[in-house]
Structures are given as C-alpha cells and as structure tokens.
Amino acid sequence: MSPADPHPDVRPDSVARRDWWKSAVVYQVYPRSFADSDGDGVGDLGGILDHLDHLELLGVDVVWLSPVYRSPMVDNGYDISDYHDVDPLFGTLEQLEELIAQLHARDMKLVMDLVVNHTSSAHAWFAESRSSTDNPKRDWYWWRSPRPGHEPGSPGSEPTNWGSAFSGPAWTYDDHTGEYYLHVFAPDQPDLNWENPEVRQAVYAMMRDWLDRGVDGFRMDVINVISKVVGPVGDDGRVTLPDGVLGGERDPRWPGVVDTVSFADTPAFVLNGPRVHEFLQEMHREVFTDRPPGLLIVGETPGCSVGEAVLYTDPSRGELDMVFQFEHVDLDSGPKGKWDVLRMTMLQLKQSLGRWQDGLAEVGWNSLYLGNHDQPRCVSRFGSDAPEHREQSAKALATVLHMHRGTPYVYQGDELGTSNAGFTRLEQLRDVESLNHYATAVARGEDPADVLRALAYKGRDNARVPMSWDASPGAGFTTGTPWLDLHPLSGSVNAAAQVEDPNSAFSHYRRLIALRHAEPCVAHGTFRMLLADHEQLYCFERSFGDTRLLVVANLSSAADVVPDLSELAAWSSAEPLIASVPGSSPPPPTRSPPGSPGSSVWPDRAVWEPLWAPSARPSRR
C-alpha cells in the first residue's frame, strides 16, 4: 500500500472506506429505454429487475437510475411532479423497493437521479405557488413582475433578458397572477428558489426519506445551477435579478443553446453561483453527515472548471464526492453552441482529459464518462462507428476511459459498442431539446437539412434508443411498439450475441471492470501522460507504491502507426494484461530497459491496444 493511503488496513473496495467509490464502476440505467416488462413499449422497473443478471455479470458496483418519479414527462422524467412516488409508467414504489433489495443482495448499490434545481410545473409546490401572490409557497419559486413600460406577456416584457437553455426566454408569463416565473430549462420546469430556507429544508427532508428507504445516494442534476446571482432588494421586497448583455459571444461553459441576439447568455447568472458551496455544505450536514459509510454523492456540474471541481469535491469541505463535468463533451461545439458542430481531434480529447487528471491529482475526484442520457453515443462521437472499426473503437475508448484516475460510468449499451441511430427524419425524434431547437433554428432561416444533420449527430435521442437485448423483432426490449424506434443494428449488435463471446465489447468491459476491482493502482495510482503530443496514440502510466501500469491505445483508423516508442522503452519486459484484439501483443522493444525488471513487488504490467490494428477515429464535421 502507498504510505499516503488513508485506510491502509481496509480493502480498497470496501464500503468501510469513505472513498469506496474510487474502486467502483457505475452503470447508468435510463429506465424508459432499458427493458419493457409489460408490452406498452416503454421501459420500466420490471424490465430492470428482469435484467439484473446482465449487470451482475458485467461486474458493476452501482446502478445510477435516471428519474422514475411521477412526472408529466415533458423532459422524460427530469420534470418531477412528486418526489416521493414512482410514476405508473415505470411501475410502483413496491417495485422500486424490490429493486433496491435485489441490488443489495447482489452487492450492488442504487443511486437515484435527483433534480432539485427545478420541479415540474405540475408539482403541488408550484400549484400552490402560482395560486396567488400571497400564498406561503409563492417565494418557493422565482416570481417577478413584468418589465416596467411593457405590455405584460409580450416579447420584451420579461423581468430579465435571460435565455433558456432549451430555446426562447427563461421566463414564462402567468395570466392568473400577472407575473413571470423563471425556468432556466423548459417552461414546464420552473426553478426552485434556493434562497428560501424553507425550500432547502423540504428538499433535504425528501432526500433523507429516500436514504431511509435504502437508496445509496444521489446523482444530482445541474446541481451547480441552484444558486443565482442576485442584486439588492427591490421595491417589492424581493431581491432583484440582473440583465445580461445582448449580442455578446456565447459562454462556452454552458451546454445549452441561447440565442444571444435575442437573449442574454445565462451562465454568468446561474453557474457556480455565489451561494452554491454554502448550499451544498448545508445539504451535506443535513442529509449525509451522520450516515454510515457507503453512500455516494455525485453532482452534475456543467461549466465547472478544474478549480471549481476541487472546491466541490475536497473531502474536507463536505460537499460532493465527485463532479460530472462537461469540458470534454463540449469540444465539438462551436461559437454558437452545441448544435454548431465542429471537428474534434483526439489530441484535443487527450489534452482535456489530461488537464483534469493533473488538476485533481492532489485533491478532488472526477466522474469518468464519454456518454450518458444527454450525449450522443461515444463510439460515434469520439471514435468510429464504421462497420470495420466500431467494435475495436468501442474497446479502445473503454480502455482509455477506465484506466484513468476517477470513477468510470458505463451508459447502458456502451458495453455493447452501441452507435448513434442514424436519424434521417424529424419524425424519428422525441427529445424536447432537439424539437425546440429545430423549430427555433428553422424559424430564423437555417437550412432544415443542416439542422437535422446536427440533431442526428449530437441529439440526446441517440442515447435513448431502446436497449438491444437480442435479435428478435422487438430486440428483446418490448413485445409492443417501442416509444422510440429500435436501433437499426439491433439484429447484430445486441447483448445475446456478446455475453458469451470472449472477444466481444461486453467481455472487454468485464475485464476492465475486474481489473479496477483487483488492482489498487487503477483506482488509487498517480497518472502521467506519455507521448502527450501524439495525434493518434493515447498513452499514459499509472503508479501506486511499487506497481506501475502502462496504457497504450491507437485511437485512429490508421493501420500503419509507427511511433517513436523510445519513451516507452522501459516497458519492454512488461506483462500484458489486456488487449482488445485477440492474439495481439506489445510491439517489440526499441531497446533494453534499464534496471532489473523483477525489482518490483509485482512486475510492471501494461494494458495494450494494438498499435497496428484500426481502432477509432475522432469525429469530424
């Protein structure tokens, strides 16, 4: 063990360690698209229960469950109308409790997705809040009067000129009380006013209730948006909110798209706000501090810098265990935002991930991911989904990701090498973000074909295509009509075809997960980038005590990569642990390594992706 290990007498993956999650792997289930048990075409809790063997065989430690709370489903469950119950679309509260028990029986944990920046406009809290200007819950949301001198409800009469991440203004007029309410996202997702201590206490009580039911933690959606920039108290006794600058450049930290000609860009007023650390520290004290070890607190933090991440995840501050940051998934976004798709190079990806490895080397922790329910499929975006490359590309990307320092996340289907769906028609899409953007972009004169092309590449529906379990007509997902079209490759790229195949993407993921569990160096070791400027090879070294691991991956489609391997020469006697191509082995050494190869407690070992076989190629515009 390393002398710096704070728990030298405790097994690295034991939940007796406060940092047990460093050795863990998280699997995200998007329930609507995972498995349908009742034939209505929508995935549900029964479907998840039916496929726990898949997750256990894969070897994951934690299941992150996207929202199953009651919801009108405007944003597929991220608009919650009742935090304490399960939506009938997904099943029952009893089934959720059974899922918790079944996962625990298999030594897995359940982390619930939680959205507390906003609720649904159908939530009982909002119904009370909008009922009258003097309702006790009026100040639970951000209500403000129309701009003086403007006709209420008309364009330009919004209290501020902020834009919504889902297109249009960030304010919606309510005829009943003659005021506007704030929604950083869709109009059906009004923002909670975290300045109000009653709101915070209600949220904390709800979180404690879920922990008491056996939930093992939370992944908190856009949690760094809860604190807004506020001004002095106005004439109406409420704090004021400032206007932004029109016509300015888009803030690259924001994953949403704001029309900065018509509206002010929102990030400066909502990201990493002035009281966000105060709120999270209070949450930690109120909800988690007196609980036994074994919980996980994850914060989705768009626009979070490395410096901010250190603050969020420094254990001594008592806020989050790890962040879910966005820098690397915004590399292919141009000046106009997400849908302004740019070419991305592997070198850019390497530099971004390397910067986070260096920045959190001493303090802090990061979530390792390339895809989730809000992103396109990683093999299509960061690799190559061409038939001749897709499988090896998926393996190479998984190797690089899982061998970094941080906690890896597997999004459902990534373990199969699932690619983008290849949407060609607007009618195939269901996502509110994509549909709103299409309407707005076409209305302002953009070519519909160009808009659809960007949606097909980066739209969230790519990740939400139903899981492919087998080659049957319903892909093993449903016996009915799926809510979103099945993947066109479901007949060949599916779980049944891979689980027993030792050379499949699924089996490769299993080996990577097992290695993290077995080798403390993967979870706790230091990170050093090698061949930092190479445009095709992604190489790095992990070290922990007397153990060293080398990772070499060819993230290009070139079959003839012949690099200068002098920087890797000391590894010529390394024992290969994992390779993505059957029968592949490390290339011959360029010179003999210095020193005795047998001097370590364990021989130096390497994780190889073959340097001569096609693997993956960065996405291009």
Give me 87's structure tokens: 């939506």
Which one from 113, 259, 265, 300 is the annotated catalytic residue?
Answer: 300
Neighbours of 597 (CB within 10 A): 16
CA dihedral 366, 370, 371, 375 (to 10 degrees): 100
| 319 flagged as catalytic | no
State the residue for tokens 């097909």.
456
E-only strand ranges, 4-108: 26-29, 62-65, 69-70, 82-86
Amino acid of residue 5 = D
- Strands of 171-174's sheet, edge to edge? 143-144, 179-182, 171-174
Give me 296's structure tokens: 């996980």
Neighbours of 122 (CB within 10 A): 16
Which one from 221, 251, 308, 433 is the annotated catalytic residue?
Answer: 221
Cα(409)–Cα(28) distance, integer angstroms: 7
CA dihedral 144, 150, 155, 158 (to 10 degrees): -20
Which DSSP string corresponds to 251-301?
PTT-SSB--TTTSB-SHHHHTT-TTHHHHHHHHIIIIITTSPS--EEEEE-
Give me 258's structure tokens: 């704001």
CA dihedral 406, 407, 413, 415 (to 10 degrees): 70
How many helices (H) and strands (E) the chain has is answered by: 17, 20
3-state SS, residue 330: helix
| 221 flagged as catalytic | yes
3-state SS, residue 134: coil
List b or e across 313-347, with b for residues whose CB sees 16 or more CB atoms inside 10 angstroms. bbeeebbbbbbbbbbbbbbbbeeebbbebeebbbb
Q: Could you tell me if 323 and 304 are in contact, meaning their C-beta atoms sit under 8 angstroms apart? A: yes
Residues assigned a catalytic role: 221, 300
